[in-house]
Structure 1
């Protein structure tokens, strides 16, 4: 079933039980970060639908009492992370409508979800069909079908532009990405900051691309929280990466940048405003920040990886030992 059909089917089944009350987003690691923008969209735009986001294992062990047949659970795992599969099973048992997002049609995720969305992944990933883009599409569809979201058409038109925006940004930002790689190839620790639609993206860069794929220490900080303790560690040497968003929370990032210009030197800014997002209608472009910026921040780390001679596929423990 297509995403539009999935939500229509759920809506029809929910009419007899009182309608939709909450949407939960559940995943681990990079998958959770990828679906975070959909949660942000729901929080910003939904009028009468609650939302929440959970780590898969926390969802299993500290399940919200409100999970029932008036909830949609969007649960994501590329292959079939064990705790995420358990989250699907638990949500099913509670009567929720589970939408299993996964990278392949034959995974345990696909086998257990009441509905399945297979997303593009791998080296030849189509970004307009990646997990972050399709999670957003689910959220837009929920908003439109349950609450008549006014900017639905503009959101759907954006999908035809995403791939060319990412390709163009990679081309225009290649010199900056190579300079990033040269500058930081020998650094051992990084602070990565973002806010609003790029909160999950900052997590991805810190925890997935720097820590997991390059075995570098990294701290993810929300731009709004930087001034509530962490900024005391700022000096001229500390490597800081600021992901600047467009939209409602940009002021938070601009405040950080102003401070960095005064008290720091070893920082890099990757600005969503420089990516071509302005090609998307301003009523919805904010929500596509992550769909563009996750491929781009990974592109920056990839340049560093190539200069270091360390593959993004190298791991110490993941998939190698029991954990």
Structure 2
């Protein structure tokens, strides 16, 4: 597969990523023993998008109070639920994202407990938080972060007497890297075909819901807009019929991200509409992938990882077909703003 090192993926995500389970359990158990009032999932850009699935999971599966917040807004809004009893979780690939660092400083001043997942070791963020998991590699960092966040969130739920299936769940988390590998291999040709067909398309609508809303938001913003300079809009399936539907015509590219949680019927509704109007409807459905060893009960949660991994295959082929490196930027981290 183009720009995919399977050996590196297994090393970073499976062998090294899964090794953090006991450390995560120790962190969560310590916090739960001490006591806490709520959880804040805080990020900027792709990392706040990464938090939305876990906010959805906690809101739909747990009584734990959770807030997913954009770092820069969070700092200025005087959030009335943040206190010394709050647990604040951050992720950062580089460990240097300014908005995230500022948010950590803000939380620490309030006395909250801070946790970070960081790819790059010995960076500012790794030294600021109370607890840090440093994965050590930018490669496949989102795949690893997603997996570690499952461990964090479901351990908190388990300790809240809400998830007795935790032991079985973690066994299936250990199968997730191989399930991802299988999915990307089976999707790779479709990813290439998409990139070839749409390399010159100037505008995409991306639609998703539930625990795939974060991926929808992130892919439109971070990949299509930031990394490929393509106009894109992320639309929540529940809101599609409140404005956006009027912009769909026969040549509009509509990309539907279908997961397996309770909100799937919302995306089905968009699909029924879009297939009548546009000739450029793309459906990426996690139900199409065989996830060996993953139970039906947990597929809806792991859809986040599967969906992101297969979307990433589209990215590398868009890069090739458009001759536009994914690392190329005009402004981000290049100019002051």
Same fold? TM cut 0.5: yes
Which residue number corresponds to residue 31 of structure 2? 10
Does 1:296 pair with 2:310? yes
Structure 2 unaligned blocks of 5 or more: 1-21
Structure 1 unaligned blocks of 5 or more: 15-19
| 8 Å Cα contact 2:93/2:138 also seen in 1 | no
| 8 Å Cα contact 2:120/2:137 also seen in 1 | no
Does 1:95 pair with 2:116? no
Matches of 2:276 and 2:260, distance apart in 1: 23
Deviation at 1:126, TM superposition (A): 8.4
Which whole-Å deviations, capped at 9, do the CAs of 1:160-204 have from their partners, x for residues lacking one? 221111111111112211110111100111111110010000012
Matches of 1:126 and 1:21, distance apart in 2: 28
Give the one of 41, 50, 57 matched to 2:65.
Answer: 50
Deviation at 1:308, TM superposition (A): 1.4
Instruction: Indicate the SS of the match to 1:280.
Output: coil
Matches of 2:184 and 2:304, distance apart in 1: 15
| 8 Å Cα contact 2:120/2:138 also seen in 1 | no
Deviation at 1:35, TM superposition (A): 2.2
Matches of 1:257 and 1:149, distance apart in 2: 33
Which residue number corresponds to residue 4 of structure 2? none
Which residue number corresponds to residue 61 of structure 1? 76
Which residue number corresponds to residue 284 of structure 2? 270
Moved more, 186-195 or 169-178: 169-178
Which residue number corresponds to residue 75 of structure 1? 90
Matches of 2:59 and 2:140, distance apart in 1: 32
Which whole-Å deviations, capped at 9, do the CAs of 1:37-80 have from their partners, x for residues lacking one? 21111111112x21111111111111312211221111222222
| 8 Å Cα contact 1:31/1:131 also seen in 2 | no
Which residue number corresponds to residue 17 of structure 1? none
Deviation at 1:141, TM superposition (A): 0.9
Does 1:36 pair with 2:52? yes
The two structures, once aligned, show a CA RMSD in angstroms of 1.7
The normalised TM-score by structure 2 is: 0.89
| 8 Å Cα contact 2:220/2:233 also seen in 1 | yes
Q: Residues 144-293 of structure 1: matches in 2 within 5 Å?
A: 144-277=158-291, 279-293=293-307
Moved more, 117-126 or 280-289: 117-126
